[in-house]
Structure 1
Amino acid sequence: MAGTADPRNVTYERIRSDVKDYYGKILQSAADLKSNACVLPAKPLPGFVTKALANVHPDITARYYGCGLVVPECLEGCWILDLGCGSGRDCYLLSQLVGEKGHITGIDMTEDQLDVARKYVDLHMQKFGYKRKNVDFVQGYIETLTKAGVKQSSHDIIISNCVINLSPDKASVLREAYEVLKDGGEFYFSDVYCDCRLPEEVRKNKVLWGECLGGALWWEDLVCLAEEVGFSTPRLVTARVITVGNSELERLTAGYKFVAATYRLFKVPRGKLNDKCVVMYDGNVTGFEEVLEFDAQHTFKAGEAAEVDGEMASILNNSRFSAEFTLQPPGGLSAFCCNKPKMLSRNPFELVEELGTAAVTPTTGGCCGAQNACCS
């Protein structure tokens, strides 16, 4: 019928409006959060990251609401896009790591947050000793990056810190990210995931959505969406359990488990998993001269041969890491004594259980039944 609104669009606009209010008006600092979803990352911070964080203005860090640490390796000179940058903490952190020749763009839909971020641009550039600014902030939606002025194939890396769960259209977020990444680019992000698809009554709750729980993806849907868009298989980096820590929110989410997990996706040709290859890390990545923990499955020691599958070989050979590794042809395996990768699934709940972070048991019945077929 002419003039009838698409109910999906109405829902999207309602969620966006609720999130804007929550992060622009209700939350004034991290102390206003009602759950522990947005707390410290699962791993200790490297020394150089701690030092860089100390240079970020306190007004910026006070309004930090991330759930992980989005600092990938090998950043010098890179152009990085931060989805849902908020007050800009991660942007100012990464500004120091990419250097004056690199560049950081933060995009957010909440003007109140962007006002805080923009207020301190000149102060940080002076503090970092830069003659020209390498940070800017754009108002826009992470589902429509190109409409916000982000050019296709323009960025080496995209990061996101506990923001994708706030989007009502996560498939569009991944598609847009893929489009604006250069060939060989990486999407490195932390987010909140559930052990199954959440029911409508949880997804409709404004506070749960604002606290990064109501919009949490079932982790298997992330794997499906990423591969449909064209990314390589998601590489799980780390994970930690989220205990809600609020009696009312715990009641509303009873029976569901949540984790904060970091994944990395690459825009590279897909290699075959059964095509094994030998690689050797040269030890030249700043801050990781001896050991590079690439993900939960692969830890590369400088000067030591390591076995990888064809997909990992494609990632290392076609991304910014290509200059940091020497790859041997598939037939050369017998000539080396190789470190083998850990046998690990992409399931963050299994990683948490393996690490002993908390007791996590698989969900059975109910929400994870046949109706939750992947990407249905």
Structure 2
Amino acid sequence: MDYSAYYRKATSEGYQAYYDVVAQAGGIDPQATARTRNAVDAVPGEAKDKLFNVAAEIKNTFHEFGAPLPPLLEGCTVVDLCCGSGRDTYLAAQLVGPGGRVIGVESNEARLGIARKYLDKEMKQFGFAEANVELVHGVPEDLSFIPDDTVDVVISNCTFNLSPDKAAYIAEVKRVLKPQGEWYFTDVFTDRRIPQATSNIIENVALRLGGALFVEDFRRMAQSLGFHDPRYVITRQTPLTDAEAARFPGIAFATITCRLLNSELTSDHCEDYGEEIIYDGSLPDYPEFFLFDKDIKFPAGKPCHVCDNVSVLGLEGCRYAKVITVKGNREVHYGDIHGDQIIKTAPDWEGIVDEDDQPLMVSCC
């Protein structure tokens, strides 16, 4: 199956027009379609107090509540895709500090205008002598104004589902990220493919639901484009109104915060090189453990046996190496990190005979 084609709603010539139509179909209340509810952990602790530094109009016209902001952003170059009125952009600007940079990309001129309106005021509020934010009118599917391998972190807040060409979106994120860089974002996914007739209705897309991907299709597309091991950090059932649920009968939605590392040192399956990592416990929001994904927490100060897709966190070039140390190397390969059950549970050939009641001579050729 051509997964990219299934979800494609426009080609390069029509990206901006598609976003314009979706914006026009959206409701007046920007919070009405917010999917990243302000539940526990939806806004990182280190960012919560920084919300007070962001202008009220920016927050009141922003379309989401939660904020997909990973730790260790100081000094980083961050790209915020479909940044809207810029709330997450200005939160990220405070977290990267004056030595970092944030590029907010937004397709809607009116929303971007609100972000631009407050640029100078926000920088003064943050105490920055020079602006560390650049606001660009554009679309995520064409980031040609950003050079290859120059971005540390790409974020987006429940807007990937709006993309008219999700393969192009993923490919551009992959292109601009540095080796060991991170795509960290929150969005809505489904437990099955939404019928195309339903997802073709612009009003359904404007609800931030009609463009949602079947989560396994996202995994396949991401892996095919070079993100070998997508991880899901926080997952929650997506709240729907009765009217919204009626538009998508039988389909379950979940709001998921995703972590994808741009590393050729990872693989599409968790493999064992005998490596261990130790998290030093120094992250303010994680003094007792490091949250890698929804199933894995690494206790502070304790060695943990990990696969190649996790040990990359502590390797050169990854910003998490500031707090994570790797013990071991990749000179010896031990196979599947969980033990390859296909191999290890295979029965032996003792007692198996051929049609002449002779012991079977096993060969692979």
TM-score by length of 1: 0.79
Residue 19 (structure 2) pairs with residue 16 (structure 1): yes
1:274 aligns to what?
Answer: 271
Runs of 4+ in 1 over 4 A off after TM superposition: 10-14
Quote the offset at 1:283 in angstroms. 2.6
Q: Is the 8 A contact 1:273 1:309 kept in 2?
A: yes
Deviation track 1:25-63 (CA, whole Å, cap 9, x = no partner) reads x43532xx2x56353256354432210112211101112
Amino acid at match of 2:206: G
State the distance in 2 between where 1:14 and 1:96 align: 33
1:328 aligns to what?
Answer: 327
2:257 aligns to what?
Answer: 262
1:121 aligns to what?
Answer: 119
Q: Is the 8 A contact 1:36 1:244 kept in 2?
A: no
Deviation track 1:72-116 (CA, whole Å, cap 9, x = no partner) reads 011110110001000000011111111110111100110000000
Check 1:118–1:92 CA distance in 2 against 1; reply closer, same or farther (3 A cut).
same
Matches within 5 A, 1:152-191: 152-191=148-187
Check 1:231–1:46 CA distance in 2 against 1; reply closer, same or farther (3 A cut).
closer
Check 1:178–1:67 CA distance in 2 against 1; reply closer, same or farther (3 A cut).
farther
Residue 290 (structure 2) pairs with residue 292 (structure 1): yes
Q: Is the 8 A contact 1:226 1:232 kept in 2?
A: yes
State the distance in 2 between where 1:227 and 1:186 align: 14
Amino acid at match of 1:144: D
Q: Is the 8 A contact 1:81 1:155 kept in 2?
A: yes
State the distance in 1 between where 2:164 and 2:40 align: 26
Quote the offset at 1:17 in angstroms. 2.8
Amino acid at match of 2:23: K
1:212 aligns to what?
Answer: 208
State the distance in 1 between where 2:30 and 2:109 align: 16
State the distance in 1 between where 2:78 and 2:150 align: 9
Check 1:44–1:85 CA distance in 2 against 1; reply closer, same or farther (3 A cut).
closer
State the distance in 2 between where 1:19 and 1:42 align: 30
Quote the offset at 1:144 in angstroms. 0.7
1:47 aligns to what?
Answer: 45
State the distance in 2 between where 1:234 and 1:77 align: 25
Deviation track 1:229-280 (CA, whole Å, cap 9, x = no partner) reads 1113001101111131142x32211111111101110111224623142111
Amino acid at match of 1:103: R
Check 1:63–1:185 CA distance in 2 against 1; reply closer, same or farther (3 A cut).
same
Quote the offset at 1:8 in angstroms. 5.0
Unmatched segments (≥5 aa) in structure 2: 1-8, 331-336, 339-365
Q: Is the 8 A contact 2:16 2:107 kept in 1?
A: no
Check 1:195–1:298 CA distance in 2 against 1; reply closer, same or farther (3 A cut).
same
Residue 236 (structure 2) pairs with residue 235 (structure 1): no
State the distance in 2 between where 1:309 and 1:14 align: 44
Identify the match of residue 63 of structure 1 among 61, 64, 69: 61
Q: Is the 8 A contact 1:151 1:180 kept in 2?
A: yes
Does the residue aligned with 1:74 lie in a helix, a strand or coil?
coil
Amino acid at match of 1:98: V
2:349 aligns to what?
Answer: none
Higher radius of gyration, 1 or 2: 2
State the distance in 1 between where 2:140 and 2:218 align: 16
TM-score by length of 2: 0.81
Aligned residue pair count: 321
Amino acid at match of 1:18: V
Amino acid at match of 1:217: L
Residue 30 (structure 2) pairs with residue 29 (structure 1): yes
2:4 aligns to what?
Answer: none
Amino acid at match of 2:28: L
State the distance in 1 between where 2:10 and 2:128 align: 45
State the distance in 2 between where 1:8 and 1:126 align: 40
Check 1:41–1:317 CA distance in 2 against 1; reply closer, same or farther (3 A cut).
farther
Q: Is the 8 A contact 2:23 2:206 kept in 1?
A: no
2:241 aligns to what?
Answer: 245
State the distance in 1 between where 2:242 and 2:113 align: 30
Quote the offset at 1:312 in angstroms. 0.9
When you count helix as a share of all residues, which structure comes out higher? 1
Quote the offset at 1:287 in angstroms. 3.9
- Structure 1 stretch 281-290 or stretch 233-242: which is displaced more? 281-290
Quote the offset at 1:14 in angstroms. 5.7
Check 1:178–1:128 CA distance in 2 against 1; reply closer, same or farther (3 A cut).
same
2:138 aligns to what?
Answer: 140
